[in-house]
Amino acid sequence: MAKRYLIHVKTDMNQAREVCVKHSGVQVLHCHKHFPFIVANIENVKFFYNHPAFSHVEEDIRIRIHRASPSARNQPSNVPWNIQAVHAPAVWPKSTGKGIRVGVLDTGIAYSHPALRGHVAGGYNIISGTQNFMDDNGHGTHVSGIIAARKPGRLYGVSPDVALYGIKVMDRDGNGRISDIIKGIEWAIDNNIQILNMSIGSNTHNAALEYATRRAHQKGIILVASAGNDGERGGAIDYPARFPWVISVGAVDRDMKRASFSSTGDGIDIMAPGVGIRSAWKGGGYKVESGTSMAAPHVSGGAALILSRNISMSGGKAQKYLIQLSNRLGPRREYGHGILDLFPLSK
């Protein structure tokens, strides 16, 4: 029975594709544009092990959103506690993220939501290959609200004037394929995305994802990812957050204590609120959610405030500066450099 794989191409892509097409038991699904990978259904993968056109072959594994404990509670507020906790409002007189392009690699965005209307500049549905990136899960909309909501009297995000781009790579159940994640990263490169939020992860290393994220980082995109929700099981940081060029974000609660579910390890970079976070939801409503998925967009929003305040700053310098905007909370393996603190940007 055929399984789906990522084939690492060592030679010319067209020649490699021709080899795949001619070989029985191989169905080519996609050839990546910026990266040397072919996605294919393969019946017998051994053919690729020693072929001179290919360097490596690995399963196109599943990846998931980092949502910890769904809740239907509604807590009306003006500026939510979590946005105040990272001191974003203090920065708004100087920077609101205006002019910065933030990609949300997720389940899509409910772009007609009252708190997001006018702030979603575009997007793409990688799964269907269409322009319809409407969120059919809710997760991507929640993440987007934390980054950029602006609904006076109802909800504010960290950087309420950014241009959001919904890159739909996850299905209605919050699941996706590595190959679609890579396609989403390619879309971000092609569309000049400056910050890419990835509130998703897998505990399985994938060489193709490592290559794609590293190349995106080298092109100047600030990559932010949730660390994972395996803390209670002693789980390590998920990928892509575990890659050193990706900002790995863990979650804290209102008391600035690490959320029990927040994954730990030496690779944690920074913490942000991730427990009981109220944000936008599909269908025009609001919802309270928990998870490192909710922590990561605080950092993406913070990166937008930095870039908007310092137009000439490179993505690499902004990424290093962002991690420095933190207050130490506890052991490095649990808290990284500490809680995100944007207050210095207000000066």
How far is the C-alpha of 5 from the C-alpha of 27, rounded, in Å?
10
How far is the C-alpha of 125 from the C-alpha of 133, rounded, in Å?
5
Q: Identify whether 69 is a catalytic site residue.
A: no
Nearest alpha carbon to residue 35 among 7, 2, 72: 7
Nearest alpha carbon to residue 248 among 274, 218, 279: 274
Catalytic residue among 293, 300, 308, 326: 293
Could you tell me how far CA 330 lies from the centroid of its own chain?
25
Tokens 């690995």 sit on residue? 58
Q: Identify whether 341 is a catalytic site residue.
A: no
User: Is 214 in a helix, a strand, or coil?
Assistant: helix
How far is the C-alpha of 184 from the C-alpha of 126, rounded, in Å?
6
Cα→Cα distances 238→26, 71, 226, 249, 294, Å: 30, 24, 8, 11, 15
Note the maximum CA span of the chain: 64
Please list the residues that pair with 10 across neighbouring strands. none
DSSP H or E segment with residue 158: none
Catalytic residue among 119, 139, 142, 337: 139
All residues at 6 or more sequence positions from 34 whose CB lies less than 8 Å from its CB, including other chains: 186, 189, 190, 212, 215
Catalytic residue among 106, 180, 230, 269: 106
How far is the C-alpha of 267 from the C-alpha of 131, rounded, in Å?
36
Contact 296, 249 (CB under 8 A): yes
Burial annotation 99-118 (CB, 10 A radius, 16+ → b, else e): ebbbbbbbbbbbbebbbbee
Q: What six digits make up the tokens of 40?
A: 């294919």
Q: Identify whether 139 is a catalytic site residue.
A: yes
How far is the C-alpha of 106 from the C-alpha of 9, rounded, in Å?
27
* Residues assigned a catalytic role: 106, 139, 293
